[in-house]
Amino acid sequence: MHISRTGRGIAAATTGAAALVAAALATAAPASVATATPAAVPHTFAAPAIAGHTLAHDVDSPISIAQCQAKWHINCYTPLQYRTAYNLNSLYRKGITGKGRTIVIVDSFGSPTIQHDLDVYSKQFGMASTKVSVVKWGKVPPFDPKNGDMTGWAGETTLDVEMAHAAAPGAKIVLVETGVAETEGVTGLPEMMSAEKSLIDHGVGDVITQSFDATENTFPGVDQGDSSSIQKLRYAFEDAARKHVTVLASSGDDGPTNGTLDDSGDYTKQVNSWPSADPLVTSVGGTQLHLDDQGNRIKPDSVYNDYGAGGGGVSHVFSRPSFQNGVKKIVGNHRGTPDISMSAAVNGGAWVYSSYDPTAVGWDVYGGTSESSPLFSGIVALADQVAGHRLGNVNAALYSLAKHKGTGIVDVNDGTDNTYGGVTGYKAVDGYDMATGVGTLDAPSFVKSLAKAARR
């Protein structure tokens, strides 16, 4: 979820590119800082269909937390700080980097500079880069840096790729670029789902991360009790379940509400979104990390709620799945989201490098659950490597692990909430809640426990 741009377009799907990628994978191996009044926060708006945000633009190089506070009144974190916060370095030292696993990222339009940008990003932080295999699904129009729709999705693409790589530096990345921008309702989703199914059928990808959503109520018929317009799009996830591919989705950035069909604002009531609310998908919510310069926590995580808020609530389409029977007092008779959460707050946002817009080359700070879903995709890739196979749908495992100590599930229970836009949300309390799900994670224990719990 980016940030201050939005996207729309037209294209048709094709299947040839996926086969080519399958074959390829089979053989592949700062700016000055204000010292007085902080800089004004730029206007931000929802884009693509989940409202993420960026407050810092085109900085020459990443700056310190103190400098970010002085300049923008927010904390800004590097991947090295995230790695310390989630205790990932101990896994890397053991060779657990996601090696041999593949993360699939799906975005409209993509970015023409994604490989270069990932290389610069990796070099900045002393990380080895990785090849990004690009699949153009259908007639993807030539990239136009003057088109705000395309640059919005390019920003989303950049965030997705760099966060997945930050968590799983040894994993392969496949970026699927579609030619129809996902907005609200059905628009753009058929192309995305057909692309995902083709890659799954061709054996490409162990985990799919989706940083997009559409409010359930914006799908035709849902407000009248007819969910067929959503049900007809689930075939990719059903295919993933059969092929044991893990599917993730961002829970949203509008707390307990989400965007209307015309994208003029949010509903004034509690709503949920798809694909996050689909029981075949793991919904990844957002937390706010509180870190020092080394990446150590100075206090426990809280709910992401600043320039957006972590999405969460009950589905109006899907009934409670069996893996949530243990939390039925909280979710009732419906599917509740999110399932688990990672860093997403803008105040604690991620440094990201991009050059797709020649007039705005440099470093930005991003937030939103478009950050947390690709971060978690990296965690799943690590667990896949430990298990030696794909884990498939991990939802049952998450709720099982949450019942036991020492599994790497870290409860978020500080009482903060995801109330947003005047719509009352949910508090982070002991155990499962619809602000952060089962909580967040400590990677060494969690990766080992997930690999064991999700064994087929």
Superfamily in which the 56-454 domain is placed by CATH: Peptidase S8/S53 domain (3.40.50.200)
Question: What whole-number distance in Å separates Cα of residue 439 and Cα of residue 31?
Answer: 36
pLDDT band with cut points at 50, 70 and 90 for residue 344: very high
Among the listed residues 1, 92, 81, the one whose alpha carbon sits nearest the alpha carbon of residue 48: 1
| Unique residue bearing structure tokens 């003057």 | 146
Amino acid at position 234, single letter: R
The answer to whether the beta carbons of residues 434 and 337 sit under 8 Å apart is yes
In this prediction, residue 264 carries a pLDDT of 82
Q: Between β-strands 207-210 and 102-108, what pairing exists: parallel, antiparallel or unpaired?
A: parallel
Question: What whole-number distance in Å separates Cα of residue 96 and Cα of residue 99?
Answer: 7
Name the token pair of 57.
Answer: 């633009």
Residue 9 pLDDT > 70: no
Question: What whole-number distance in Å separates Cα of residue 256 and Cα of residue 271?
Answer: 6
Burial of 368 (C-beta count, 10 Å sphere; 0-12/13-18/19+):
buried
pLDDT tens digits, residue range 358-367? 999 999 999 9
pLDDT band with cut points at 50, 70 and 90 for residue 29: very low
* Mutual angle of helices 189-201 and 16-27, in 10-degree steps: 40
Of the listed ranges 92-96, 181-185, 234-238, 426-430, the least confidently predicted one is 181-185
Please list the residues that pair with 283 across neighbouring strands. 249
pLDDT band with cut points at 50, 70 and 90 for residue 102: very high
Please list the residues that pair with 214 across neighbouring strands. 274
- What does the pLDDT average to over 24-33? 33
pLDDT tens digits, residue range 382-396? 999 999 999 999 999
Among the listed residues 371, 348, 368, the one whose alpha carbon sits nearest the alpha carbon of residue 76: 348
Provide the total of helices (H) and of strands (E) in the chain, helices listed first.
13, 18
Residue 101 pLDDT > 50: yes
The answer to whether the beta carbons of residues 268 and 423 sit under 8 Å apart is yes
In this prediction, residue 187 carries a pLDDT of 80
Residue 296 pLDDT > 50: yes
Q: What is the DSSP string of 403-435?
A: TSTTSSEE---SS-B--BTTB---B--SS-BTT
